Structure 1
Amino acid sequence: MYFQRSLRSLCFIVIISSVAVFVVGEIKCNVCQDNNVKCVNETHFSLCMDSVAPDQVMQCPDDQVCTSLLKFCMPRGSVAPSCTSDADVTCPSCDGSSVFVCTSRTTFQMCNGDKLTSQVTKCKDNTFCSIGQNQFCVDRCEALNSKTGFQCDRESPLEV
């Protein structure tokens, strides 16, 4: 009888804890969480540990999202992702004053006035789009340490 009550209490605590994760809401992107993971976007993360290089971005398995839970990649739909950057991503647009703009974390495109051209240019592996100071792509640390962070934190460019 005592064992059953203890088991019920434990189950109740687990359920309440799970609900609390949903109620607390989103954690900002690119912030180290209590589980030593920094969600870069909904599906990508880097580890917040001194023994791991901070510029290594890893991807959750297919159909899984990055969370603040101990098991930081969980099936899509089972829990809310810690970071939903694609919902509020603002990427630079062609406004007539820029020759190039970042169209995702790793791509940029040329502007023709206020319109994007169709040619998408991809940064070299392990570099990220950061247009400015005569550079188009920089390493992750430089992108994160800049005042703006990622200029466009979108997974891939939108179709033109």
Structure 2
Amino acid sequence: MALRGPKKWLMVILQVTICIYFFIESTSAACNVCQDNQVACINSTSFYLCFGDSNPNMDVLYHCKEGFECTEYNAICLQASATRAPSCGSTSLCGQCTAQANALFACLSRTTFQMCYGAVHPTGQVGYCPSGFVCDATSDAVCVSTAGTHTVTCDVVDSSTDTTTATTPTTESTTPTSTYPLTPNEVCAQQTRSGLYPTIPNDPYCKRYIYCRNAKGVEYSCPANTYFSIESKACTIYKPTYCT
């Protein structure tokens, strides 16, 4: 039987109140940080267990089923909702030129980016958004003020505090400093034998690597659910602790 009069309005108010409650109470935690529910969400759908420690245990990576998101609640994975943001935003668009409509740039973290110039992969020097701005691939402006409407394309907090090391030459060196990141050929020029080598700077997600042969290099990505290990110089199912 359909509700009428005061009862109908009471149900409407109750539903609105519940939505507002979830919207206010749902706080976006930092990625890869142990929450009260003893999980650390590394993106919107995947997480590590914490086992009572302050650091997540990275032996096994767990995934929410399709349509569910990693949250700070006891159930861990809850159905995706427009009124409740996941604990950690997505990292699937990090470093992707295709995330930007005109392939102008790629967001490497919340506050860093590289230009794409219409190419598939970003190239050149890493750029830094000013304080109070984030990299937003939904805009052509690259960095958008957090005070207004914005989207965090790559929900990774950049921990780098030294932005000059890569481009500032020392007074003792007469060799010109290369623009970072290095191209595959520049990486291979530093090696004496063929093989697999990490990108320079290292890919924080441990997905990309350089294949060197005869001082020539080509960039590749590890298969799904595998990570490039700097120590073993190969793609492995075990995620190194230094990977995001």
In structure 2, do the counterparts of structure 1 residues 54 and 109 end up closer, same or farther at CA, with 3 Å as the change threshold?
Answer: closer
Offset of 1:17 from its aligned partner?
4.1
Indicate which of 228, 231, 240 corresponds to 1:129. 228
TM-score by length of 1: 0.56
Distance 2:207 2:41 in 1: 20
Kept in 1: contact 2:209–2:228 (CA 8 A) = no
Select the structure with the greater relative contact order (CA < 8 A; seq sep ≥ 6).
Answer: 1
Distance 1:84 1:13 in 2: 25
Kept in 1: contact 2:211–2:219 (CA 8 A) = no
TM-score by length of 2: 0.40
Kept in 1: contact 2:47–2:61 (CA 8 A) = yes
In structure 2, do the counterparts of structure 1 residues 130 and 119 end up closer, same or farther at CA, with 3 Å as the change threshold?
Answer: closer
CA RMSD across the alignment: 4.1
Q: Are 2:124 and 1:120 aligned?
A: no
Q: Which residue of 1 aligns with 2:85?
A: 80
Which segments of 5 or more consecutive residues in structure 1 lack a partner in the other structure?
A: 1-7, 144-148, 154-160
Distance 2:31 2:24 in 1: 19
Indicate which of 40, 43, 48 corresponds to 1:41. 43
Q: Are 2:182 and 1:95 aligned?
A: yes
Distance 1:117 1:21 in 2: 47
Offset of 1:33 from its aligned partner?
0.3
% identical equivalent positions: 25
Q: Which residue of 1 aligns with 2:73?
A: 69
SS in 1 for 2:85: coil
Indicate which of 102, 107, 124 corresponds to 2:207. 107
Q: How many pairs align?
A: 129
Q: How does 1:4-19 map to 2 (within 5 A)?
A: 17-19=21-23
Return structure 1 stretches of 4+ with deviation > 6 angstroms: 10-13
